Amino acid sequence: RKEVEQDPGPFNVPEGATVAFNCTYSNSASQSFFWYRQDCRKEPKLLMSVYSSGNEDGRFTAQLNRASQYISLLIRDSKLSDSATYLCVVNAGGSQGNLIFGKGTKLSVKP
């Protein structure tokens, strides 16, 4: 069965906090990994692609551990505008076009 599992959340954090989201995937043949952000009732938007070497974009850092089939997203110095649902996305192994979304983790950043 193809699955992508995320922390259930919600995460309620103060401004300036560091928060980490975790995601595990079940198919070892998966090759493409992403974090998307979705604001309430809006369409998802790409936050970061996740590469084997890990990657950083400003306050956001994504890591991939293929051996453990684990992806993480770290947000440093949280802003109020970071409040959203974060979706882990993985392609189904053997099929680049078949994408599996996690159920998402809701983040609420408070003043």
* Shorter beta-carbon distance to another protein: residue 41 or 53: 41
Query: Interface residues with another protein (CB under 8 A)?
Result: 2, 31-32, 41-46, 49, 87, 91, 95-104
> Which CB, 5 or 77, lies closer to another protein?
5
Distances (CA, A) of 111 to 5, 74, 84: 29, 19, 15
Contact (Cβ atoms closer than 8 angstroms) between residue 15 and residue 109? yes
Residue 40 CB partners (closer than 8 Å, separation 6+): 84, 85
Distance between CA 61 and CA 54 in Å, rounded?
A: 7
Residue among 51 and 70 whose Cβ is closer to another protein: 51
